Amino acid sequence: MITSIYGAIESGLIYAIMALGVYISFRLLDFPDLTVDGSFVTGGAVTSVMIVNGTDPFTATIAGAIAGFFAGCITGLLHTKGNINPLLAGILMMIALYSINLRIMGQPNIPLLNEHTLFTTLNNWWEALNLEAIFMAPFHWLGIADFAPRSFYALMSLLVLIIIVKKLMDFFLRTEAGTTLRATGDNQKMVRSFSANTSLYIIVGMGVSNMLVAFSGAMVVQHSGFADINLGVGMIIIGLASVIIGEVLFGKDKIVRMTLAVILGAIVYRIIYSMALRIDFLEASDMKLITALIVVVALVFPHWLGQTNAKNQYKKSKAKAASG
Amino acid sequence: MLSLNEIHKTFYPNTPDERLALVDVNQKLEAGDFVTIIGSNGAGKSTLLNTLAGSIIPDEGEVSIDGRDVTRLPEQKRAAYIGRVFQDPMAGTAPGMTIEENMVISLGRTKRRSLFRGVSKQLRERFREHLATLEIGLEDRLNTKVGLLSGGERQALSLLMATFTEPKILLLDEHTAALDPSKQELILRLTRELVEKHSLTTVMVTHQMEQAIEFGNRLWMMDEGKIIFEANDDEKDELTVPDLLQNFENIRGKRMASDRALLSK
């Protein structure tokens, strides 16, 4: 139970990078982007092929992220220059990437178990610095060593990584260019009237979004020890679920707060996921259904809530008018 | 400053819906000119304004600003010279973003957008000073989302954002038409103040004849895509609403069509 929660937090931190990417396209650019299902695998594919061929894992991970950037730019181009509806542009790119990913990988599955990955490197550093003992110490003092994770290295390094990603993203979104990018999803006509090339912002924004998604994919394959062509199926829905859960539970107006909410949303989603897997009659394959249900509930519920509130208020005001 | 040479524009050419939107428009504006454009629905006022802004490219003719031919320059590039306020108060601002963020975007009109922090302390002070001149208390609400402002407040903000970076030309497209009378007065007062403060060359489209007469030093009356009547400086100062209606009848041999234009307030 405890270990599964630590595991959930670990994968939550990795998938949070993907969720931040989805947040850029879905919320900031108002572009429901299905490229994600493909670009997530593209990141993993490029990275795993390079690792298998002996490239050092840092370079391989960065290359994976860059591949995702280009995939996203193409989706943006299809929409802005080709005038293709956003949803369709994403689907086209997703389908195209399926073939491309197979080409990159050369086979539907690449094992990485005995390879030198980012995580093995981090683990080496971790052991060299002997940090494990420092983190374990409080657990031993309190006599709750059984509740500690088997190792802190993945958790801590991922935490540091996600904080760096979040800080960079917060910074970018508050620059002049980042502010304009956010406004592009809010009111394109206005942004154009202030001399900004909205097409360019959409293309680059989609690129950055998918870069984060591919980066997350590159981390996932190294964390789980294999790349698979079907890794990305339903990824966009997981991203949406994370974004929406985050907004509902932790969301606030400020952008700094929103990126934090999305990260926490991704972790909460993973925890729900691991809990659901522990229910006996549910199988791992049911998770897509459960994810879809989570998104439906999260989308529909606030809407209903709004309506009932409005109705109640109407009734109240009517009752007041009748009595007064 | 701004010149329009033999501009023609036809919508839906060679179809049953063909409509002459602009016919042989020839005009020149000097720096500091304030022209009001009046005319009934479909007279071509908005098309003319959109041609200036670049959202409509004319079939023939040339638009030039400061001697530079901008006829084929896309809207967002031309915006470096042009400030714009739309009829819809919702159109000129981004609702999901705060007042200061909106103003940062408007600053980008004249310069490249950088990867530096958008809202700095200095900028915030500058924004606050400019907002204070509106005298509607927006200077204390820099972090309020624009979507929470009223229509009048949003339009005042749009007007400020379009003017405070001193564009070469300010385009006002019936920018008071969607507001209630008290808000209309506010926006008109602000328009007068801001145009004077930055001595902007202004083109204002309006449905209200009184407004057209009251504002600016020049007036164009449009019908069926043509500028059928114009009055400048002294001539314009003596103009009255009945004069305008009479002129229209004399020139076109018919009464002015739009009720909205007749009901000047």
Residue A299's pLDDT band (cuts 50, 70, 90): confident
Q: Do B96 and A186 touch (CB under 8 A)?
A: yes
Which chain A residues are Cβ-neighbours of B119 within 8 angstroms?
174, 179
Angle at B194 between CA B53 and CA B243, to 5 degrees: 75
CB nearest to A176's CB, from B53, B86, B118: B118
Q: What pLDDT digit, counting tens, does each position of A26-62 carry? A: 999 999 999 999 999 999 999 999 999 999 999 999 9
Q: CATH number of the domain at B2-256, out of 3.40.50.620, 3.50.50.60, 3.40.50.300, 3.30.390.50? A: 3.40.50.300
Contacts of A177 in chain B (CB under 8 A): 113-115
**Mean pLDDT, chain B, integer:** 88
How do residues B228-258 score in pLDDT, each as one tens digit? 888 888 888 888 888 888 888 888 777 666 5
Residues of B in contact with A172 (CB under 8 A): 115
Q: What count of Cα atoms within 13 Å lies in the side-chain half-sphere of residue A271?
A: 12
Query: Counting Cβ atoms within 10 Å, is residue B180 exposed (0-12), middle (13-18) or buried (19+)?
Result: exposed
Provide the β-strand partners of residue B227. Answer: B222
Residues of A in contact with B94 (CB under 8 A): 182-183, 186-187, 190-191
Q: Is A256 on the interface with B (CB under 8 A)?
A: no
What are the boundaries of each domain within chain A? 2-278, 289-324
- The sign of the torsion formed by the CA atoms of A80, A85, A90, A94 equals negative
CA distances from B4 to B28, B44, B49, B63, B86 (A): 6, 14, 11, 5, 21
A314: tokens are 């109407």
Reported as a single tens digit per residue, the pLDDT across B66-83 is 889 999 898 888 998 999
Strand B218-223 and strand B34-39: the pairing is parallel
Say which of B76, B97, B145 has its CB closest to residue A182.
Answer: B97
Distance of CA A274 to the CA centre of its chain: 17
Residue type, B151: G
Q: Is the pLDDT of residue B263 over 90?
A: no
Provide the β-strand partners of residue B2.
Answer: B29, B65
Q: Do A192 and B115 touch (CB under 8 A)?
A: no
A155 DSSP assignment: H
Give the residue from B204, B198, B197, B200 showing the smallest Cα distance to B218: B204
What phi and psi, each to the nearest 5 degrees, are found at residue B238? -90, -5
Q: How far apart are the first and last CA of chain A?
A: 58
Instruction: Indicate the Cα dihedral angle B197, B199, B201, B203, nearest 10°.
Output: 30
**DSSP labels, A86-112:** HHHHHHHHHHHHHHHHHHHHSSSEEE-
SS3 of chain B: helix, strand, coil, percent, to 5: 35, 25, 40
Residues of B in Cβ contact (< 8 Å) with A191 = 94, 105
Task: Locate the chain B residue with the closest alpha carbon to A27.
Answer: B96
For β-strands B226-232 and B218-223, DSSP reports them as antiparallel
Cβ-based neighbour number of residue A1 at 10 Å: 8
Q: B94 and A172: CB-CB below 8 Å?
A: no
Which of A221, A163, A150, A222 has the alpha carbon at shortest distance from A4? A150
Token pair 């006829």 is at which residue? B71
Q: Cα A65–A299–A38 angle (5° rounding)?
A: 25
For A2-278, CATH gives: 1.10.3470
- For the stretch B173-190, pLDDT in tens is 999 988 988 899 999 999
Q: Tens digit of pLDDT for each residue in B93-133?
A: 999 999 999 999 999 888 888 888 888 888 899 999 999 99
Residue A242's pLDDT band (boundaries 50, 70, 90)?
A: very high
Mean pLDDT of B45-71: 91
Chain B nearest-CA residue for A172: B115
Delimit the domains of chain B by residue range. Answer: 2-256
Write the pLDDT tens digit of every residue in B194-227: 999 999 999 999 988 888 888 999 999 998 888 9
What is the reported pLDDT for A40? Answer: 97
What tokens does B249 get? 């009848």
Ranges A157-166, A236-245, A246-255: which has the least confidence: A246-255
Across the interface, whether the CB atoms of A195 and B108 are under 8 A apart is answered yes
Residues from chain B that touch A179, judged by Cβ atoms under 8 A, are 97, 101, 104-105, 118-119
| Distance of alpha carbon B220 from alpha carbon A46, whole angstroms | 64
Look at A186 and B94 and tell me if their CB atoms are within 8 Å. yes
The interface predicted TM-score of the complex, written ipTM, equals 0.85
Report how far residue B62's alpha carbon sits from residue A282's, in angstroms, rounded to the nearest whole number. Answer: 70
Per the CB < 8 Å rule, is B104 touching A176? yes
Q: What is the DSSP letter of A279?
A: S
Helix locations, chain B, DSSP H: 45-53, 75-78, 99-107, 121-132, 151-163, 181-197, 209-214, 233-237, 241-252, 259-262
